[in-house]
Amino acid sequence: MSASFADWVSTADAVRATAKKLEKHAVLARYLGSLEDGDLVVAARLLAGAPFPRRDERVLSVGWSALSDVLLERSGKTGEDMAASYQRHADLGDVAAELIGEDPPRGDRVSLADVVATFDAIAAARGVGPKRELLRALLARSSGDEARYIVKIVSGETRIGLREGLLEEAIARAFGRDREGVGRAHMLTGDIGATALRARHDTLGEPTLAHFAPIGVMLATPVLDLAEVGRRFPPPYVVEDKYDGIRAQVHKAGDRVELYSRTMDRITNRYPELVAPLLAVPGSFVLDGEVLAFSDGRAVPFTDFQTRLGRKDVAAELRTKLPASLVAFDVLERDGRALLDLSLTERSAILRQIPLEAPILFPDQRAIAESGDPLAAALEREFAAARERGNEGLMVKDPRSPYRPGRRGMEWLKVKRPLRTLDVVVTGVEWGHGKRRGVLSDYTFAVRDGERLLNIGKAYSGLTDKEIAEMTEYFLAHTVRDYGRFRLVEPDTVIEVAFDQIQPSERHESGYALRFPRIVRLRPDKPVSEIDTLDEVRRIAGR
């Protein structure tokens, strides 16, 4: 028989209740070690906050309104209660626990197997009605505490929850394996559940990177000016243009090729013109690169190319007007061999052996060996040249560095346009004035501080009329609470805002305000977990 979900919940609660890492590990290790194989896989996946393993493409797609309907019904509370509770917690899972409270569940208690079986069924169900029914049946049998986690997972809120590193460490401890081995197997399999099982059975060593199981992309740290580069790591430096397009991880094996976004969504059919040229390359590979369009040898501005984003199938007309290219700047796997641990220099050598042909391109790579003033001068020249080619700025990489999936470190630095921008999430919207009457054009936005979102400003210029109209429709459908002029919305729309200065201010809960904020663009490619943080704001303000 499958273990009870209530035990899983007490474990998750116990982990949240202590700030001490070692205690967290001990609680998790004891629990994971006690489970049978099948439950171990499920429990680990749920602790990671996701209904399915990362390599799995299924999604629950239970909308906010279905979720809140079911919740209101289960708790017998009103929409007002729910809105008030949401204002307090800003997390639908905590809202669920509060609304249901001590109200006893009905029917058989829920097991771990019941939870996954319901998630499987919800993902497979078509239409809101059947999905809602499945969730309703599960929540009827759940206590308030159990509902907290079910709702968190369904609404995707635990994405910024239990850190993967913590879980990996606990798995290592539970089965007496080393931490590195667990982290590596996790990255290569794309499944924390399968990783836990491998740890138990001592089979962590498999060296293959799973095809069509996207892994996190390596991220870059912004530097505020070129002089900062020299303080981050010593020469030599590898410099590439920073292409302003869409990040793509390409997997090819046999006669299949897929492109994945940085959020690990499959985006292959947005760029059909890239498929044949990629398939034509012999052997298997995983590439990291940027999709963008070129016209007369210059990069097309992102805002022009972006019109293709968000469409599942691209009109033939657009395809011929703005055909996509892929600049492949890294290789993570080639013919069955994972290359992540090799240095950038070694990876680049392997990359350039791959017979890629237009529209798949290699980036122009330059090496800079100087330090001090000559370095700054060389970077200055490179930066200007990159801008001249229509690119956003420079990427400066450490040639000695391995590929670190999902990590933002100092080994890749990005130097963008001199204008400062922040990636933020919209938390509230307001009806516009004058010519913007009748559309939701004023956006309040927040930065991230751990799991919390803290407002930092409000902006109302920068988007096109068409974008504003589309956003209005979106926000109307994703309003959490309607205050008339102002609406609290689901915090999932990421935008990039530019500003002249950051100043301390009492006006917003972050304790800072932006001077002259304006919206640069929508960032549908960026998940909320990757927006800028309060720390970054402090860093900029501190200068």
By the rule CB under 6 A, 179 interacts with ligand AMP: no
Rank residues 363 and 457 by Cβ distance to ligand AMP and give the closer one: 363
Nearer to ligand AMP, 133 or 530 (CB): 530
How far apart are alpha carbons 403 and 219 in whole angstroms? 10
Binding segment (CB under 6 A) for ligand AMP, from list 26-34, 105-113, 137-145, 236-244:
236-244
The single-letter DSSP state of residue 236 is P
Q: Contact between 528 and ligand AMP (CB under 6 A)?
A: no
- Nearest distance, CB of residue 446 and ligand AMP, angstroms: 18
- Indicate which single residue of 214, 363, 390, 405 sits in contact with ligand AMP (rule: CB under 6 A): 363
- Regarding 271 and contact with ligand AMP (CB under 6 A), the answer is no
Distance CA 345, CA 91 (A): 44
Which residue's beta carbon is nearest to the bound ligand AMP?
247
CA–chain centroid gap for 283, Å, is 29
Q: Does 242 bind ligand AMP (CB under 6 A)?
A: yes
Q: How far is the CB of 533 from ligand AMP (least distance, A)?
A: 13
Q: C-beta of 262: minimal distance to ligand AMP in Å?
A: 6
130-to-62, 65, 71, 136, 395 alpha-carbon distances in Å: 10, 14, 16, 10, 48
Does residue 405 interact with ligand AMP by CB under 6 A?
Answer: no
Residues noted as catalytic: 242
Range in contact with ligand AMP (rule: CB under 6 A) among 79-87, 100-108, 242-250, 459-467: 242-250
Q: What is the CA radius of gyration of the chain?
A: 24
Strand residue runs (E) in 40-108: none
Which spans in 415-489 are helix H?
465-477
Taking CB under 6 A as the binding criterion, the range among 73-81, 169-177, 240-248, 332-340 that sits at the site for ligand AMP is 240-248
Closest by CA to 459, choosing from 531, 521, 540, 535, is: 521
243: contact with ligand AMP by CB under 6 A: yes
Residue 494 interacting with ligand AMP (CB under 6 A): no
Amino acid, res. 219:
L
The position carrying tokens 């986690």 is 149
Tell me whether strands 285-292 and 325-334 are parallel, antiparallel or unpaired: antiparallel
- Smallest CA-to-CA distance from 299 within 165, 390, 183 is with 390
Residues 6+ apart with CB under 8 A from 393: 241, 242, 383, 386, 387, 414, 415, 416, 417
Report helix angle 64-75 to 79-89, nearest 10: 110
Closest to ligand AMP by CB, 53 or 393: 393
Residue 403 makes contact with ligand AMP by CB under 6 A: no
The mark string for 128-167 relative to ligand AMP (x by CB under 6 A, - otherwise) is: ----------------------------------------
- What is the C-alpha to C-alpha distance for residues 422 and 79, in angstroms, rounded to an integer? 34
User: Which C-beta is closer to ligand AMP: that of 222 or that of 235?
Assistant: 222
Q: Which of 414, 481, 518, 538 binds ligand AMP (CB under 6 A)?
A: 414
**What is the length of the chain?**
543
Among 98, 114, 258, 290, binds ligand AMP (CB under 6 A): 290
Q: Is 329 in the site for ligand AMP (CB under 6 A)?
A: yes
Which residues does residue 502 pair with via DSSP β-bridges, in sequence order?
514
If the CB atoms of residues 53 and 359 are measured against ligand AMP, the closer one turns out to be 359
- Decide whether 136 or 366 has the Cβ nearer to ligand AMP: 366
Taking CB under 6 A as the rule, does residue 331 contact ligand AMP? Answer: no
Cβ closest to ligand AMP, residue 210 vs residue 327: 327
Contact 282, 334 (CB under 8 A): no
Q: Contact between 398 and ligand AMP (CB under 6 A)?
A: no
Contact between 91 and ligand AMP per CB under 6 A? no
- At 225 the three-state DSSP class reads coil
C-alpha closest to that of 45 among 179, 222, 189: 189
CB of 62 to ligand AMP, least distance (A): 29
How far is the C-alpha of 167 from the C-alpha of 44, rounded, in Å?
8
Alpha helices for 339-486 (secondary structure H):
344-353, 372-388, 465-477
Which stretch, 82-90, 198-206, 237-245, 437-445, contacts ligand AMP (CB under 6 A)?
Answer: 237-245
Site for ligand AMP in 185-224 (CB under 6 A): 220
Residues within the interface to ligand AMP (CB under 6 A)? 220, 240, 242-243, 247, 262, 290, 329, 363, 395, 414
